[in-house]
Amino acid sequence: MTSTRKVLNWIGMGLFVLLGVAATIPLFLIIIDIYSKGIDAINRLGGLWHFLTSEPPSPLSKSGGVGPPLIGTLYMTALGAIGGFALGFPLGVYIGEMRREKLANAARVGVNVLVEFPTITIGLFVYAVMGLVQDDLNRYILGPVSATLKAALGNSVFYNYVSWFVGPLDSFNAYAGAAALALVMIPYVALITASAYASVAQPLREAAYGIGGREFNALFIVMRKVVSRAVLTAALIGTAKIAGETAPLLFTAFGNNYYAPFTGSTGAVSLWIYAASETPYNVQIMSAYGAAAVLLTIILILFISARIKAIHD
């Protein structure tokens, strides 16, 4: 009898191992495929530095890169991550700590729905909002602001820099893209934060109120330090998530192959991959593989630093 049980145990364990391996095979196939083709492409298109800084190749050129889309991705991801964290973190604290309030429960349900939303609808939403507010925003706020800046700075080089960031917005612009990314990130950060706060043991919560003084300090300083690890992970994983998003940017940032002000349509690496892989031109398809390798590297760095931080502590 014992030996039958052992054999069954081996078979069972063997199946689990097999399933585990099967689950990771696609992951490694994707990584290997993208890096082997991507690195080859980057070398053929003019080397890493050239690839990271130059404009995407036109159909008949022999070299090119992802400079403008990369800058756009970095800028929009950074803004989106800041916005998403700034809203998602307090929301998560509210959901996690005020579990007995009806509104907090409603917020929890809402966030759970939002996390499953097709991200393209979020892009559409921001596009619609942009259409509503663009005129007034430009006329009453951004126009005067940029005029004031121009008057203050004159036509200096410095004003040229500033005007890349501040000015009347086109209907496609980096800020709309960042807003869409922030909306995608909010529920991720909120849910991880909420579960981290909810898991804080009652003695630590009491200690937090005992030493924190006002409730704000207890919740956002003392208890944040208790759950800092989870909050950091939430921020990094949320950032990784939005760095690779394409759909929310289609109607908001739109994409751009040239270095251009962020107030107008802005490129993103993911958008370039999408656009280039649809063309019949080999050089552009190659650059899409290179771009995929760059994007994957950004995301892996974010994920791995989140993992290392978790293991290190």
Partner 1 sequence: MTKLEAKNLQVSFGNVAVITGLNLSIPEGSITALMGPSGSGKSTLLRVFNRLIELYPEAHVGGYVYLDGQDIFEIDVIELRRRVQMIFQIPNPIPNLSIFENVALGLKLNRLAKNRKELYQRVKTALEKAQLWDEVKDRLNAPAGKLSGGQQQRLCVARSLAFEPEVLLADEPTANLDPENTAKIEALLLDLKKEMTIVLVTHFPQQAARISDYVAFLYKGQIVERGPTKDIFTKPRHELTEKYVTGRLY
- How buried is residue 68: exposed, middle or buried, by Cβ count under 10 Å (0-12/13-18/19+)? buried
Tell me the backbone φ, ψ of residue 266, rounded to 5 degrees: -125, 140
Nearest alpha carbon to residue 75 among 161, 173, 178: 178
Closest to partner 1 by CB, 225 or 307: 225
Spatial contact of 79 and 178, defined as CB atoms under 8 Å apart: yes
Q: Hey, which residues between 51 and 110 contact partner 1 (CB under 8 A)?
A: 100
User: What letter does residue 230 receive in the DSSP assignment?
Assistant: H
| Residue 237 C-beta: closest distance to partner 1, Å | 19
One-letter amino acid at 255 equals G
| Residue 203 C-beta: closest distance to partner 1, Å | 4
Tell me the backbone φ, ψ of residue 216, rounded to 5 degrees: -55, -45
Stretch that binds partner 1, among 35-43, 159-167, 179-187, 215-223 (CB under 8 A): 215-223
DSSP bridge partners of 254: 266
Full DSSP string of 30-58: HHHHHHHHHHHHHHHTT-HHHHHHSPPPP
List strand residue ranges (DSSP E) for 169-303, in order: none
| Residue 91 C-beta: closest distance to partner 1, Å | 20
Residue from 221, 285, 296, 299 in contact with partner 1 (CB under 8 A) = 221
Q: Hey, which residues between 185 and 214 contact partner 1 (CB under 8 A)?
A: 201, 203-207, 209-214
- How buried is residue 250: exposed, middle or buried, by Cβ count under 10 Å (0-12/13-18/19+)? buried
Closest to partner 1 by CB, 204 or 300: 204
- Residue 135 found at the interface with partner 1 (CB under 8 A): no
Closest to partner 1 by CB, 108 or 241: 108
| Residue 205 C-beta: closest distance to partner 1, Å | 7
Report the C-alpha gap between 64 and 45 in whole angstroms. 6
Residue from 44, 50, 150, 229 in contact with partner 1 (CB under 8 A) = 229
| Residue 97 C-beta: closest distance to partner 1, Å | 10
Closest to partner 1 by CB, 222 or 271: 222
Closest to partner 1 by CB, 53 or 217: 217
Report the C-alpha gap between 243 and 240 in whole angstroms. 5
| Residue 146 C-beta: closest distance to partner 1, Å | 41
Q: How many residues form the binding site for partner 1 (CB under 8 A)?
A: 21
| Residue 212 C-beta: closest distance to partner 1, Å | 6
Closest to partner 1 by CB, 200 or 299: 200
Report the C-alpha gap between 297 and 313 in whole angstroms. 24
| Residue 108 C-beta: closest distance to partner 1, Å | 16
Closest to partner 1 by CB, 13 or 211: 211
Closest to partner 1 by CB, 134 or 217: 217
Spatial contact of 292 and 312, defined as CB atoms under 8 Å apart: no
Closest to partner 1 by CB, 5 or 312: 312
Non-local (6+) Cβ contacts of 294 within 8 A are: 38, 51, 52, 66, 70, 269
DSSP bridge partners of 266: 254
Stretch that binds partner 1, among 36-44, 126-134, 226-234, 286-294 (CB under 8 A): 226-234
- Chain residues in the site for partner 1 (CB under 8 A): 100, 201, 203-207, 209-214, 217, 221-222, 225-226, 228-229, 313
